[in-house]
Structure 1
Amino acid sequence: MRSLSIGLVVVACFLAVGWWWGRPQPMPVQLVAVERGPVETLVANTRAGTLKSCRRSHLSFNIGGQVSELLVDEGQRVEAGQVLMRLRQDDRLARVQEAEARLEAKRNAREQSCRQAKLDQRDLQRLERLAARKLLAADRLDQAETRARLAQLACTSSAASIREADANLALQRSLLDQANLRAPFSGTVAQINGELGEYVTPSPPGIPTPPAVDLIDDSCLYVDAPIDEVDAGRVRIGMPVRISLDAFRGRTFAGQVSRIAPFVRELEKQARTVDVEVRFVQLPVDVTLLTGYSADVEILLEQSAGGLRIPTETLLEGRRVLRYDPATGMLREVALNTGLANWRWTEVLGGLQEGERILASLDQEGLEDGIAVISADQPESRR
């Protein structure tokens, strides 16, 4: 009997050891710790936005003519009022010179007529003194009065002739200046459509033609981005914005909402958007921003500075997570009370403590409440 008992004990030990070595092993998983950090509620654009200039002018001549001078190059920076292109203007210059000569002649004629009027007036005064002493015939005095009045009228009317000649000179100078294409503001020349000797004509009504010069004001830039109509109602002018450009990946620029379109854009039946304009708080000086860059915006609606947070991808339906229990080595389902959230982080108001670890990814199959797991960061042991 004693030998039988010893044999049964040995068999039991072998069975226990076999079960221990053959038991289901804990599944290796990635765990993430509950930490403190900022959580933001954001609104992002639904399609790529575009970097635009606050002022951009497609400059053209309002008269036809032959290009005689190209005074700038593409990419060159110009100042307000600077001449960019000039048409042949010898005929207009001749008209200006003619108007200047006519004005000078009118001024000389006025000087002569006014001097003559003064002379006739002095003669009249002398004759009046003689007539008072009965030394002059009445008809002689009458003739002197008539000459003085006519001379004064000629002097007065010459002033109107001078104003007319001056106005004509201003007109000719204005027509001459129309042959000069000037920059309405300081900026950068983006494109030039015109060559020396080429004849340019203004656009006929309803038929657009390429501008002679495309001028961009690069001192003021903004992003025009479409926001889903569902989110547009929460956006307000002045809200802070993070701007990211595909040309400078990994970098963001500070901005503010400067305009919200007063209508919904219906490009597609199921994708209605509202255009939002975002201005840069300060233009960067270490990079060159080009109009036309694609851009994305994140409009900050709310922010929690230092509360508990977890990655949003760790949440199950119903605001639940799988928490790792270090005492049993198992996952336990926990219901949470959450606050602010975005695509990356979710604020935890209750249900978890700082430092506790939860399942980092829901992609792995077979994970549920009560499953034994081991962190992939720790070596797995069978002892």
Structure 2
Amino acid sequence: MFKFVLPLLLLLIAGSGVAWYVEQENNSNSATATRAFYGNMDLRQVDLAFNDAGRISDIFVQTGDPVRAGQPIAKLDTRRFDAALAAAQAQLAANQAIYEKLVHGSRPEDIERLRAVVAADQANLQLRERTEARLTTLTQQKLASPQDLDTARAQRAAAAAQLKADQAQLQLAVIGNRPEDIAAAKASVEAATAAVHSAQIARDDTVLTAPSAGIISNRLLEPGDMASPAQPVISLALTNPRWARIYLAESDLGWIHEGMPATIHSDSFPDRSFAGWVGYISPTAEFTPKAVESPSVRTALVYQARVYVCDPADQPLRLGMPVTVKIARDARPVARGADPCAPEPAAP
């Protein structure tokens, strides 16, 4: 009986060894099918400043407040800008009135008045001509002095000149204004309109707004401080996009490509994983930064990559947070133009 037990025991031992080897090989294959990379969370920060110099009257946010795109953040004292806008609007109104006056020309009442003036000038000239004729006859008869005749002749000449001037003025009133004068007045209106727009823009820029959604990371100035275009008021951390900054070895470039899906893990949230995708791989190599926790040799040349995060609504991943990024070797990059964060369609 012992002869049968010993071969059976050896067979069981051999089978156990084969099973252990297969399990270890499967574990080894599964371990190499997904690579882990180590890095930190990163995002963009912008320092917001006013376009014009002025005294800050209000700041509407506190450090740590979330803001949406277009939300007012701070405001300047608007008194100077209101006065400049009012002056520009008044100048526009004056130029517009001059332009309309030239375009419309003389009023019918003005033309009728000028015609009446011309008629009066004609009657006055006829009177002066008759007076001159009488004095000429009287002078020849020695009944009037030559001085009286000279006075009559001068009055007749003055009446003729006045008639000619008033007739010219009437003709200009009937013809209308010169096109050059109208064009110059129109250009003045356009310049005044541009000045109003510029003053309005300056007035609107007294309110500083968020360019994008983000979180207030710092208040650099306070109400009462003087602001200028070169002096930021608020530091804003943009929450979209955010990415994990990792470093790839040269041997990884053959299988990691932009668009490949990835998962991001953080020690702060051990029970959660965050979806993402490889969005950027640097075209140039660099030395591994000392701040990066990587099992590879730190002096080796690596390539920076960004793994963008499909962040959930609560946005738990913060700037500088250490993370582990896992990328499967057999993962397929998303199609060009497709949304990497879009859920996969359900299987039929």
Deviation at 1:97?
1.0
State the SS of the aligned residue for 1:254.
strand
Preserved CA contact (<8 Å) 2:281 2:303 = yes
1 or 2, which has the higher helix percentage? 2
- Call closer, same or farther: CA 1:266–1:119 in 2, change over 3 Å: farther
Q: 2:41 aligns with which of 33, 51, 76?
A: 51
1: CA distance, partners of 2:174 / 2:238: 63
Equivalent residue for 1:297?
325
Equivalent residue for 1:228?
249
State the SS of the aligned residue for 1:238.
coil
Preserved CA contact (<8 Å) 2:111 2:173 = no
Preserved CA contact (<8 Å) 2:111 2:170 = no
Please state if 1:270 is matched with 2:291: no
Equivalent residue for 1:75?
64
Name the amino acid aligned to 1:51.
M
- Call closer, same or farther: CA 1:44–1:80 in 2, change over 3 Å: same
2: CA distance, partners of 1:61 / 1:271: 45
- Call closer, same or farther: CA 1:138–1:212 in 2, change over 3 Å: closer
Q: 2:277 aligns with which of 256, 259, 262?
A: 256
TM-score by length of 1: 0.57
Name the amino acid aligned to 2:311.
L
Preserved CA contact (<8 Å) 1:120 1:148 = no
2: CA distance, partners of 1:288 / 1:253: 10
Preserved CA contact (<8 Å) 1:50 1:293 = yes
Q: 1:99 aligns with which of 76, 83, 88?
A: 88
Please state if 1:42 is matched with 2:31: no
Please state if 1:246 is matched with 2:267: yes
2: CA distance, partners of 1:67 / 1:192: 12
2: CA distance, partners of 1:148 / 1:224: 79
Preserved CA contact (<8 Å) 2:34 2:326 = yes
State the SS of the aligned residue for 2:239.
coil
- Call closer, same or farther: CA 1:286–1:91 in 2, change over 3 Å: closer
1: CA distance, partners of 2:286 / 2:305: 11
Q: Which structure 1 residue ranges, 5 or more long, are not aligned?
A: 1-30, 128-136, 204-208, 304-383
Please state if 1:183 is matched with 2:175: no
Deviation at 1:63?
3.5
- Call closer, same or farther: CA 1:149–1:72 in 2, change over 3 Å: farther
State the SS of the aligned residue for 1:81.
coil
- Call closer, same or farther: CA 1:120–1:255 in 2, change over 3 Å: same
Name the amino acid aligned to 1:42.
T
Please state if 1:85 is matched with 2:106: no
Q: 1:265-312: per-residue Cα shift (whole Å, max 9, x none)?
A: 1257822211111123x3234662323222121221138xxxxxxxxx
- Call closer, same or farther: CA 1:112–1:62 in 2, change over 3 Å: closer
Range with bigger deviation, 57-66 or 140-149: 140-149
1: CA distance, partners of 2:90 / 2:313: 53
Q: 2:316 aligns with which of 267, 271, 288?
A: 288
State the aligned residue count. 258
Alignment of 1:122-201 (within 5 A): 142-149=168-175, 151-153=177-179, 154-201=181-228
Preserved CA contact (<8 Å) 1:51 1:223 = yes
Equivalent residue for 1:60?
49
Please identify runs of 4+ aligned residues in structure 1 that moved more than 6 A: 120-123, 137-140
RMSD over equivalenced CA pairs, Å: 3.7
- Call closer, same or farther: CA 1:148–1:288 in 2, change over 3 Å: farther
1: CA distance, partners of 2:196 / 2:209: 21
1 or 2, which has the higher strand percentage? 1
Deviation at 1:98?
0.8
Q: 1:214 aligns with which of 231, 235, 238?
A: 235
1: CA distance, partners of 2:166 / 2:80: 53
State the SS of the aligned residue for 1:167.
helix
1: CA distance, partners of 2:100 / 2:314: 65
TM-score by length of 2: 0.62
1: CA distance, partners of 2:195 / 2:245: 47
- Call closer, same or farther: CA 1:97–1:139 in 2, change over 3 Å: closer
Preserved CA contact (<8 Å) 2:105 2:173 = no
Identity %: 25
Preserved CA contact (<8 Å) 1:81 1:182 = yes
